[in-house]
């Protein structure tokens, strides 16, 4: 038997490539290209298109009028076609360190960048992403440090009478170690699921990096699914590949809070964890901040660390769950037990800013201590990644 | 403190939606829509586009001429614009059960379907996917059965002097059980990585379903990264978010085979596994089939089950690794030790079909027993999913 020829082995590598180029339009161009001066060039091979634009969170925001008020939305810019039919846009200025999202608009159709395989899904929207490194954004990158394990598992919730999916980060060294670890429960917002923090929030990268730098304690991070009408993220349950929606299976009726001890019981009987209030933290964004507030006051002996990131605070009218009864009394009990950290973070442009100001006023009036962290901008993942990098280092110390 | 108004809570759900719709063109249309008669409608809201086509593996293939010969590529079809600017195409016939891939072509630009969040990446190409259920394709779906755990971990390879990423499936019940499990090592092809089988191959769904049906033994499935020049899948190592390429970090120089015992040692010292040849299987597609052949003959006491899926067989000329020396003698030793299953599967249109025919001739001439499974079509994931569903039930029985 002869050795196969170089031609044949080359075919092994390239046959599929040929087919793919025909099939999927593999364009041999680089986009985005991050230059050494931190300007970025975006490219799209579209000789037949009439107009190609880009919209992304690195462009100056625009005001959008809606029936519910004025919102900031990312701006857009036009790409220019060169003589080869490749459209290009280069940012006029260097971009500051951050994880950015963008899409192209090809003759009016918003699409991801076909030359960039890195994308994240936020509810039903998928966008292309890239990272400008430096400063805090270095925490969002995969760096040459020891890496934790990320597992997607299923557990049973007796309270909800349902098998549910959960994402669990265990820090580097967990498997070889005999030590016990504290646990940080990290909750998503409305429309999100157990994939939100690990994908959009860069949880595993942030924790790997903070732990490697000695800035955060090694800890387990548990990312639950807070939609009690849902077993798992879209596509990950027997409901199949349906189109996700913002309301979807999201409810704020007290059941998520009521069932939360099921999660803790599962984690503490399946992982090598330090038990007790001093070794548990809970935080969440938006609806997850709401859940964190109500879970932590409902069970005042469970969490010494509570984080409200751009949190909704009060339940909606008409919800009758006992979880939301006697809120003031429950807060009184919770703060009498002196949690080590009650952390509130919000952006000044967040539509929940006033609700959080009201809540802080209440805490102030009662001399309930808390840590407050304010950023610019609004109800966006950029802020939630920042809050995670600020909150995690304060835990379990 | 008053309960917040229904308006505010509605905003919590919808503010981001508004912003997203402006930003990312959230189109309130359904695509793909799978009808009860198993025809499928694809839709794209593109009032300004001049032409919208779809290309996908459910359309009749076309012949493409290339410098390296003629290849089959998926055909395409034109969508038709309605008076609202929404383009539509409905398949003329019912589609048979399968996992299908497609993209749109908007004025010449190949893009994923912005209304379908389900996508898979194959090397540098991302396509939208959907499943027509029934028959074998039911194994590719998430069904209401017990689910295993999928973990992304890192291990150290002393042979390569490198920390490397690995994907490990443990079957439902593994964590609660005290029993030991057999291990199936499942290897990707050129251009792939430790994400390929779990994403494109639907490994966790196939194993969950086969095990729940009692057709496969509960087993651990270990999906390695076979590119010894690479620590992890693109975006998952300190190399950052580079554009994947087909050759990229892929090498076929013997080092993957040489370092494979490091993987086994890691798995057997970190998981509750049954040891010994009878409890180990190895299979792979294309380059992974090549690796499986050479690893299993190099270490004839390690694997009782060997699967070559559309495998490359012989090393390329000029590679000097001792792994590829004395192939005939090593095969003689391997088959003298009577592996329980030596499985060869290939499609009749595969460009490696002749190489596999030659290899089978050699096995026949030497009276080395093997199981042969032939399908139509070529070097495609559809075939590799089929081979996995055929191979896994034969293991560890």
Task: Locate B389 and state its tokens.
Answer: 């569903």
C-alpha distance from A304 to closest chain B C-alpha (Å): 25
Considering only CB atoms, B147 lies closest to which of A30, A154, A362, namely A154
Q: pLDDT value at position B114? A: 95
Considering only CB atoms, B316 lies closest to which of A3, A154, A165, namely A3
Q: pLDDT value at position A251? A: 82
Return d(Cα B55, Cα B61) in angstroms, integer: 10
Return d(Cα A382, Cα A120) in angstroms, integer: 13
Chain A residue with CA closest to B99: the answer is A241
**Between chains, do B49 and A314 touch, taking CB under 8 Å as contact?**
no
Whether B110 and B103 have beta carbons less than 8 Å apart is answered as yes
Considering only CB atoms, A152 lies closest to which of B4, B149, B317, namely B149
Domains for chain B: give ranges and CATH numbers.
26-132 (2.60.40.10), 143-394 (3.40.50.1820)
| A chain contacts of residue B353, beta-carbon cutoff 8 Å | none
Average pLDDT in the B340-350 region? 97
C-alpha distance from B75 to closest chain A C-alpha (Å): 8
| A chain contacts of residue B237, beta-carbon cutoff 8 Å | 142
| B chain contacts of residue A190, beta-carbon cutoff 8 Å | 12-13
Chain A residue with CA closest to B359: the answer is A1
Q: pLDDT value at position B17? A: 42
Return d(Cα B92, Cα B74) in angstroms, integer: 16
Average pLDDT in the B10-16 region? 46
Q: Which residues contact B342 (CB under 8 A, 6 or more apart)?
A: B306, B335, B363, B368, B369, B370, B371
For B230-278, how does the pLDDT look when each residue is reduced to its tens digit (9 = 90+)? 999 999 999 999 999 876 777 889 999 999 999 999 999 999 999 999 9
**Between chains, do A30 and B243 touch, taking CB under 8 Å as contact?**
yes
**A-B contacts (CB, under 8 Å):** 324
Chain A residue with CA closest to B248: the answer is A13
For B70-99, how does the pLDDT look when each residue is reduced to its tens digit (9 = 90+)? 777 788 999 999 999 999 999 999 999 999
C-alpha distance from B222 to closest chain A C-alpha (Å): 14
Considering only CB atoms, A19 lies closest to which of B73, B116, B118, namely B73
Report the Cα B274 to chain-centroid distance in Å: 26
Return d(Cα B257, Cα A298) in angstroms, integer: 56
Q: Which residues contact A380 (CB under 8 A, 6 or more apart)?
A: A57, A347
SS3 state of residue A288: helix
Task: Report the share of chain B in percent with pLDDT over 70.
Answer: 91
**Between chains, do A109 and B45 touch, taking CB under 8 Å as contact?**
yes
Q: pLDDT value at position B86? A: 96
| B chain contacts of residue A130, beta-carbon cutoff 8 Å | 241
Average pLDDT in the B27-49 region? 93
C-alpha distance from A44 to closest chain B C-alpha (Å): 8
The pTM for the full model equals 0.93
**Between chains, do A6 and B127 touch, taking CB under 8 Å as contact?**
no
| A chain contacts of residue B142, beta-carbon cutoff 8 Å | 232, 235-238, 240
Range of weakest confidence among A126-130, A283-287, B64-68, B186-190 = B64-68
DSSP output for A141-186: S--SS---EEEEEEEEETTTTEEEEEEEEE-TTTTT----B-EEEE
Quick one: how many helices (H) and strands (E) in chain B? 8, 20
The label of the residue with tokens 């909606």 reads A316
Whether B116 and B128 have beta carbons less than 8 Å apart is answered as yes
Chain A residue with CA closest to B378: the answer is A16
| B chain contacts of residue A15, beta-carbon cutoff 8 Å | 68, 71, 351, 379
Single out the residue of B271, B257, B339 nearest to residue B303, CA to CA. Answer: B339
C-alpha distance from B13 to closest chain A C-alpha (Å): 6
**Between chains, do B22 and A71 touch, taking CB under 8 Å as contact?**
yes
| A chain contacts of residue B14, beta-carbon cutoff 8 Å | 68, 246
Whether A143 and A212 have beta carbons less than 8 Å apart is answered as yes
Considering only CB atoms, B190 lies closest to which of A1, A12, A110, namely A12
C-alpha distance from B153 to closest chain A C-alpha (Å): 5
C-alpha distance from B3 to closest chain A C-alpha (Å): 6
Considering only CB atoms, A149 lies closest to which of B20, B152, B328, namely B152
**Between chains, do B64 and A19 touch, taking CB under 8 Å as contact?**
yes
Considering only CB atoms, B190 lies closest to which of A5, A13, A26, namely A13
SS3 state of residue A259: helix
| B chain contacts of residue A74, beta-carbon cutoff 8 Å | 23
Return d(Cα B111, Cα B119) in angstroms, integer: 11
**Between chains, do A317 and B240 touch, taking CB under 8 Å as contact?**
no
Return d(Cα B188, Cα B194) in angstroms, integer: 7
Considering only CB atoms, B112 lies closest to which of A18, A112, A270, namely A112
For B359-386, how does the pLDDT look when each residue is reduced to its tens digit (9 = 90+)? 999 999 999 999 999 999 999 999 999 9
**Between chains, do B108 and A30 touch, taking CB under 8 Å as contact?**
no
**Between chains, do A50 and B51 touch, taking CB under 8 Å as contact?**
no
Whether A341 and A319 have beta carbons less than 8 Å apart is answered as no
Per-residue pLDDT of chain A (397 residues; tens, 9 = 90+): 344 444 444 445 444 444 444 333 444 799 999 999 999 999 999 999 999 999 999 999 888 777 767 777 788 999 999 999 999 999 999 999 999 999 999 999 999 999 999 999 999 999 999 999 999 999 999 999 999 999 999 999 999 999 999 999 999 999 999 999 999 999 999 999 999 999 999 999 999 999 999 999 999 999 999 999 999 999 999 999 999 987 677 788 999 999 999 999 999 999 999 999 999 999 999 999 999 999 999 999 999 999 999 999 999 888 999 999 999 999 999 999 999 999 999 999 999 999 999 999 999 999 999 999 999 999 999 999 999 999 999 999 9
Q: Which value does ipTM take for this structure?
A: 0.93
Please check the confidence at residue B323 and state whether its pLDDT lies above 50.
yes
Chain B residue with CA closest to A362: the answer is B1
Considering only CB atoms, A149 lies closest to which of B68, B151, B351, namely B151
């Amino acid at each position: 038997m002869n050795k196969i020829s170089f031609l044949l082995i080359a075919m092994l590598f390239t046959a599929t490539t040929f087919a793919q180029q025909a099939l999927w339009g593999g364009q041999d161009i680089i986009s985005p290209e991050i230059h050494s001066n931190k300007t970025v060039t975006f490219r799209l091979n579209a000789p037949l298109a009439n107009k190609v634009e880009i919209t992304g969170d690195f462009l100056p925001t625009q005001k959008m009028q809606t029936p519910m008020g004025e919102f900031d939305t990312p701006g857009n810019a036009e790409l220019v076609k060169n003589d080869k039919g490749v459209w290009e846009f280069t940012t006029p200025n260097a971009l500051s360190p951050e994880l950015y999202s963008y899409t192209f608009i090809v003759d009016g159709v918003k699409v991801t960048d076909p030359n960039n395989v890195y994308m994240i899904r936020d509810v039903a929207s998928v966008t292309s992403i890239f990272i400008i490194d430096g400063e805090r954004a270095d925490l969002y990158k995969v760096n040459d440090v020891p890496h934790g394990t990320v597992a997607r598992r299923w557990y049973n919730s007796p309270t909800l009478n349902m098998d549910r999916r959960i994402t669990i980060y265990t820090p580097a060294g967990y498997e070889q170690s005999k030590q016990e670890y504290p646990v940080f429960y990290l909750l998503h917002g409305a429309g999100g699921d157990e994939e939100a923090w690990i994908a959009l929030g860069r949880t595993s990268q942030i924790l790997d990096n903070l732990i490697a730098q000695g800035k955060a304690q090694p800890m387990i991070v548990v990312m639950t699914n807070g939609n009690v009408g849902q077993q798992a993220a879209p596509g990950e349950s027997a409901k199949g590949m349906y189109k996700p929606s913002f309301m979807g299976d999201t409810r704020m009726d007290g059941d998520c809070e009521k069932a939360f001890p099921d999660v803790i019981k599962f984690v503490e009987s399946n992982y090598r964890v330090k038990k007790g209030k001093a070794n548990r933290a809970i935080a969440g964004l938006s609806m997850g901040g709401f859940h964190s507030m109500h879970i932590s006051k409902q069970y005042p002996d469970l969490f010494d660390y509570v984080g409200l990131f751009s949190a909704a605070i009060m339940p909606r009218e008409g919800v009758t769950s006992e979880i939301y009864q006697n809120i003031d009394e429950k807060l009184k009990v919770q703060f009498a037990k002196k949690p080590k950290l009650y952390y509130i973070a919000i952006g000044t442009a967040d539509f929940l800013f006033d609700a959080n100001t009201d809540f802080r006023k209440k805490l102030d009036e009662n001399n309930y201590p808390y840590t407050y962290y304010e950023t610019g901008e609004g109800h966006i993942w950029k802020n939630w990644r920042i809050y995670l990098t600020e909150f995690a280092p304060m835990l379990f110390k």
